[in-house]
Chain A
Amino acid sequence: METAITILLDGLVFSSYLFLVSVGLTIIFGVMKILNVAHGSLYAWGAYTSAYLIGVWSEAGFGDAGTFLMIAVAALVVGCVLGFVLERGLIQFMYARDEVIVVLATFATFLILEDVILLVFGVDPYFAYQPMAYLGSAELGGILRDVYSLTLIGLAAVVGIVLWVGLTQTRWGKLLAAVIHDRELSVAMGIDVTKVYVLTFMLGAVLGALGGAYVAPMVSVAPGFGVEVIVLSFAVVVIGGMGSIPGAAIGALVVGIARAIAVHKLPEVELFVVYGVMAVVLVFRPEGLFAPASARKI
């Protein structure tokens, strides 16, 4: 029983992490049909900025509770600034281009942003342990767990619900659905598609940066931080279906739980399990589990 609870908690924590880092990617693809490889850089910039601000906050002698504010500030600032600059400076010129060109352009952006990180933050890893230390540990399933990583589950749930409500219950969500369905018709109906695109890209960027900013206190934030996350995010998004938010949630859950089972029961296959799940899903549903239906144009 203890092992089952532990596997479930480990799986949920890892799934939450995967959902946070992949949902921004899937939103951008769903609305704009942009496969944004630079998403890993947004994650890394969020992590670095968060770790830096937490360090500054703590050195100034403010309480550890305030470090959570620094995480939010880092995600918003990085997401809004980088999201806006990238969309206006690069992505807007890519809408009419072939998908391969878009992937190459965003990959180039990723490489540039990785080097800018080295210039700005240096090569030494950053440690931002204060939020984790502040929340302490608790015994669950017979072992000690840090409470901070458990809060990832809550954060992912809140983000998921807010996005779902925002997309299905609000006017902005309906506008977005119209743009996803037919861009030209949306323009003809008077929707400011450019504004929708900019805001969507910034939202995706904030979510990517939030993933990095929130994970930063749990890890050593080091150069190359964004590389691993791109691969995992793509795996999750492909499993769930490109552009589907419920798909990202289910994809993250499937991968997270499968990985936790592997680590506890068959550690030898842990490296393979994420891609094994992806391969199995693609064999039976090449479009992913929850790929949104695409409209047939006449």
Chain B
Amino acid sequence: MTTKARMGAIGVLVAASLIMAVPAVAKDSVTIAVPAFLSGPAAGPFGVPARNGAEMVIDAINAGKLPAPYDSKGFAGATVTADYIDESGGNTKQVAEYRNLVQKREVDAIIGYISSGSCAALAPVVEELKTLTVFAVCGTPRVFEDGPREYIFRTMSHATADNVAAAHYVKDMFPGVKTYTGINQNYAWGQDSWRDFELAMKVLMPGAKQSDKVQFPKIFAGQYGSEISALSLDDAELVHSSFWDGDLEGFIFQAAPRGLFTKKKVIFTVGGTAAYRLGKKMPDGLILGARGPYGILVRDRKTALNEWFIQTYFDRYGTYPSGPAYQYGQAVLATKIAYDKAAAAAGGFPSKEQVIASFKGLEFESFSTNVKMALAGGHQALTENVYGLTKWNADAAEPGVTDVKFYPAECIMPPDGVTSVDWIEKGMPGAKC
């Protein structure tokens, strides 16, 4: 090797080592994609509030106007540019769109997804394309149970929490229930939800008997006349449902005049999204969940972050925020915290790997609850859950809830490394209620 060539090689090595040693240079902007249902039956109840929640929090982050301690500007100082994507169209379309976002549009992160179907289909693709992806709402436990994930985070509890908490609420509030049945949509979300509720009821209320006529209509079926008849004729005293989107509201409209809600106790694990939208048409006495401490169930929670969230959302969109608005806002906030923490540790704008490292095991106060990224190696969040009974507030002329009960995360979610089914079937060992 000549002296010239040797010096050139040394130069390359020095430059390479400098690149590796020094944190990435400051970035002006971070580009994220925010997928949510912007068309189809899930748009009104889920997609639009979800998008609004994300948009409101992103705007506040860029302006440095989130309440303390999150009042620094941007993600690690970089302005966030968001691209809002429609999640409707099926799993194949979502996979193609995801590839497009990562490979052609080169987004830095993707924050969103509502449907369990989307998340289950995307999980292996995310790992293949190695892009930071924060699942905001989708609930199927299978995302982390089907294999280890490095690039995926989910910032709210999964469906097991909703359904174990639902069984706890039934046991606490209606211990006399002797029989129960269910109506759930016939796909991953509905099947997982019913499975977890049924298993939890066997553990918590072993004396209660399950109906053999559990209903599984097609998602977006729209008409439930026969199912409502079958539920009415069933001896079961309690009906469990994880219906969401337009199906939830359609079912309530069709079942109310047929007296189902006066004849049976009905628990809606995602019913919170319908409360503000149906207003006075929401029957009293429904057992209402919101997939965690969000929306109408935390309306009276007096923390600075929650009061800011409710007031800012109301001022901007003219309605109170429902669960999806909180859940998308929470996912954006978690990502900001991970970027900021990684930047502080790195002494400059962080790399993707540094953001992921700081995201793992993150614990933070969100808008309406505390979040611990404690499961699946620090990728899956733990949050408390809550249920209440619907009651029209005649004085304020708005929907309300009574008999609200909170359940700590450690009571309703399996410990790290244990699948939901195994944990519930073994009697939920280690649950701290």
Contacts and interface: CB of A to CB of B under 8 A. Distances in A.
**A and B, one complex?**
yes
Interface of A: 2-3, 6, 9-11, 13-14, 17, 118, 123-125, 127, 129, 132-133, 136-137, 142-146, 149, 215, 218-220, 222-225, 227-228, 259-260, 263-264, 267-268, 270-271
Contact of A267 (B215, B254, B277): B215
A270 B217 contact: yes
Nearest to A263: B226
B249 A14 contact: no
Given A127-B278, A132-B257, A223-B44, 13 more contacts: A124-B43, A137-B257, A144-B258, A149-B225, A218-B225, A220-B41, A220-B247, A222-B246, A224-B40, A267-B213, A267-B215, A270-B217, A270-B218
A146 B229 CA distance: 11
Interface of B is mostly: helix
A166 B91 CA distance: 46
A17 B257 contact: no
A47 B266 CA distance: 29
A3 B233 contact: yes
Contacts of A145: 229, 258
Given A14-B225, A271-B218, A142 B44 contact: no
Contacts of B225: 10, 13-14, 149, 218
Contact of A17 (B38, B186, B223): B223
A224 B220 contact: yes
Interface residues of B, number: 41
Contacts of A220: 41, 222, 246-247, 249-250, 253
A54 to B, nearest CB: 13
Given A10-B226, A132-B257, A220-B246, A127 B281 contact: yes
Contacts of A215: 223
Given A124-B48, A259-B226, A228 B249 contact: no
A224 B222 CA distance: 11
Contacts of B47: 123
Nearest to A124: B44
A145 B224 CA distance: 12
B227 interface: yes
B221 interface: yes
A219 B226 contact: no
A264 B232 contact: no
Contacts of B230: 263-264, 267
Given A10-B225, A259-B226, A144 B259 contact: yes
A6 B229 contact: yes
B148 to A, nearest CB: 33
Interface of B: 38-41, 43-45, 47-48, 88, 186, 213-218, 220-223, 225-227, 229-230, 232-233, 245-247, 249-250, 253-254, 257-259, 277-278, 281
A267 B190 CA distance: 14
Contacts of A227: 220
Contacts of B43: 123-124, 222-223
Count chain A CB atoms within 10 A of each CB in B38, B213, B227, B257 and give the residue with the most. B257
Interface of A is mostly: helix
A224 B186 contact: no
Given A125-B44, A127-B253, A143 B226 contact: no
B281 A129 contact: yes
Contacts of A260: 226
A267 B253 contact: no
A268 B220 CA distance: 17
Nearest to A262: B226
Contacts of B249: 125, 127, 220
A278 to B, nearest CB: 15
Contacts of B41: 125, 220, 222-225
Nearest to A259: B226
A133 B246 CA distance: 20
A222 to B, nearest CB: 4
B273 to A, nearest CB: 11
22 contacts: A2-B233, A6-B233, A14-B225, A118-B39, A123-B39, A123-B43, A123-B48, A125-B45, A127-B249, A129-B281, A142-B233, A143-B258, A144-B257, A144-B258, A218-B253, A218-B254, A220-B222, A220-B247, A223-B41, A224-B40, A224-B220, A267-B214
**10 closest pairs, A vs B, by CB?**
A123-B43, A222-B246, A10-B226, A124-B44, A222-B41, A263-B226, A220-B250, A144-B259, A224-B40, A143-B232
A141 to B, nearest CB: 8
B40 A218 contact: no
Contact of B229 (A125, A127, A222, A264): A264
A198 to B, nearest CB: 31
Contact of A125 (B213, B217, B223, B246): B246
Nearest to B215: A267
Given A259-B226, A271-B218, A123 B233 contact: no
Nearest to B247: A220
Contacts of A270: 215-218
Count chain B CB atoms within 10 A of each CB in A6, A127, A220 and give the residue with the most. A220
A220 B43 CA distance: 12
B39 A223 contact: yes
Given A129-B281, A267-B213, A123 B254 contact: no
Nearest to B259: A144
